[in-house]
Amino acid sequence: MTDALLAPRKWVTMQDVALAAGVSTITVSRVLRTPEKVKVATRERVAAAVRDLGYVPDQVAGSLSSRESRLVAALVSTLAGSVFASTVDGLAQSLRDEGHQLMLGTTEYSSASEQALIATALSRRPDGMVLTSGEHTPAARAMLAGSGVPVVEVWELPDDPIDMAVGFSNIEAGRAITEALYQIGHRRIGFVGGGIRRDGQSSEGDRRGRLRREGYEAVLAAHGLGEPRVVPNPTDGSMVERGARDLAALLERWPDTDAVFCSSDSVALGALSEARRRGIDVPGTLAVAGFGDFEMAGESGLGLTTVRIPGYAIGAEAGRLLLARKRGEATGPRILDLGFEVVRRATA
């Protein structure tokens, strides 16, 4: 076994199959791609040869020749503990259903590296591209536009989309959950998480958190609930740590706070834990709402009131849109708003 692995076998080519089946290569190609165009007898002979030789088509050659790669590239910040994991799942699924594959790149939160990744992705001549970031360098936008590759931006509804977009309004979502807290009867509502990083950079996640915060502030203003209760947050550490630390700081400054909206469920877990440590009754004394409806938020877990985002559907729709465009189908809406849903549970 060892030797076989160290000395890569030569791949079986279409030529080999053709020879074995006594036909030309193009016939083999047809059997594989459009079997109905080949006489049954021939088809079976070829199929047998394919099986016997263990032929695995070379998509690299195929792509070069046909000028379609059947590849879609997706760029995300990170996957670990990220809201994008389910979106990537959805995308992978919808692509697979149509015989396409997924190339994944991680930007690690830098839009400079996003630009570099876009370039390398384009070098594979992808049939489409999914971007989870909402901000792009001018150069990146130019490359994308110049390439003519269909692009879908997800998890946001940009004011100036590059091409297509699938997501929801972060501002509206922030507004909705804050309004829900208001309707329950809360009047001294704080906001935890989402802000500017200590290094001055604002990361993607933070940017969206900021949008949700705008929604939060809009509700406060609309109901005359006073100044926003938000602590400036150096955003190092995990989301959970930030939730715990920021809630502590917020309560120190505004001890009478009766509800907090956390920019993500992870942040909410930190806040919840901090409240428990302090012996604060939730939701009696302090209501806590999260964002994302992660697995841990459910009834059997945290029982967290939160906002559910259709992450999987966002990915699946992004894939569908891309492939529909490729097929040249009447392109539906370029901007698809999949909405969100406030989920009321025990913490608020």
Instruction: By CB under 7 A, name the binding residues for DNA.
Output: 10-11, 13-15, 23-27, 29-30, 32-33, 37-39, 41-43, 55, 57-58, 61-62, 64-67
Binder among 14, 102, 152, 318 for its own copies (CB under 8 A): 102
Instruction: Please answer whether residues 152 and 129 qualify as being in contact, where contact means their C-beta atoms are separated by less than 8 angstroms.
Output: yes
Binder among 44, 89, 98, 135 for its own copies (CB under 8 A): 89
For position 279 contacting its own copies by CB under 8 A, the verdict is no
Binder among 111, 115, 147, 169 for its own copies (CB under 8 A): 147
For position 58 contacting its own copies by CB under 8 A, the verdict is yes
For position 163 contacting its own copies by CB under 8 A, the verdict is yes
Q: Look up residue 219 and give its two tokens.
A: 């509700």
- With H, G, I as helix, E, B as strand and everything else as coil, classify residue 204: helix
If the CB atoms of residues 125 and 207 are measured against DNA, the closer one turns out to be 125
If the CB atoms of residues 32 and 184 are measured against its own copies, the closer one turns out to be 32
Q: Look up residue 339 and give its two tokens.
A: 């909405």
Sketch the per residue contact string, 220 through 239, with its own copies: x for CB under 8 A, - otherwise. ------------------xx
For position 42 contacting its own copies by CB under 8 A, the verdict is no
For position 112 contacting its own copies by CB under 8 A, the verdict is no
Choose among its own copies, DNA, none what residue 142 binds, the Cβ cut-off being 5 to 8 Å by kind: its own copies
For position 339 contacting its own copies by CB under 8 A, the verdict is no
Number of other residues whose CB lies within 10 A of the CB of residue 37: 10
For position 69 contacting its own copies by CB under 8 A, the verdict is yes
Q: Identify which range of 35-43, 148-156, 186-194, 337-345 contacts its own copies by CB under 8 A.
A: 148-156
For position 195 contacting its own copies by CB under 8 A, the verdict is no
Binder among 60, 224, 327, 330 for its own copies (CB under 8 A): 60
Q: How far is CA 89 from CA 44, 86, 105, 291, 293, in A?
A: 36, 5, 14, 20, 17
CB within 8 Å of 295: residues ≥ 6 apart: 301
Q: Look up residue 122 and give its two tokens.
A: 């384009």
In 191-306, which residue ranges form alpha helices assigned H by DSSP?
A: 204-223, 239-253, 265-277
| Closest to 305 measured CA to CA, from 240, 256, 258, 259 | 259
Query: Please, what is the minimum distance in Å from the beta carbon of residue 147 to its own copies?
Result: 7
Binder among 13, 111, 125, 188 for its own copies (CB under 8 A): 125
If the CB atoms of residues 85 and 184 are measured against its own copies, the closer one turns out to be 85
Burial tier of 125 (Cβ tally within 10 Å: 0-12, 13-18, 19+): middle
Residue with tokens 């459009």: 34
Instruction: Please answer whether residues 311 and 82 qualify as being in contact, where contact means their C-beta atoms are separated by less than 8 angstroms.
Output: no
Strands, E assignment, the chain: 71-76, 101-106, 128-131, 151-154, 164-167, 189-192, 229-230, 259-262, 287-289, 306-308, 335-337, 341-343
For position 97 contacting its own copies by CB under 8 A, the verdict is no
If the CB atoms of residues 150 and 174 are measured against its own copies, the closer one turns out to be 150
Query: Please, what is the minimum distance in Å from the beta carbon of residue 241 to DNA?
Result: 46
Choose among its own copies, DNA, none what residue 240 binds, the Cβ cut-off being 5 to 8 Å by kind: its own copies
Query: Please, what is the minimum distance in Å from the beta carbon of residue 156 to its own copies?
Result: 19
310 prior amide bond cis, ω within 30: no
For position 260 contacting its own copies by CB under 8 A, the verdict is no
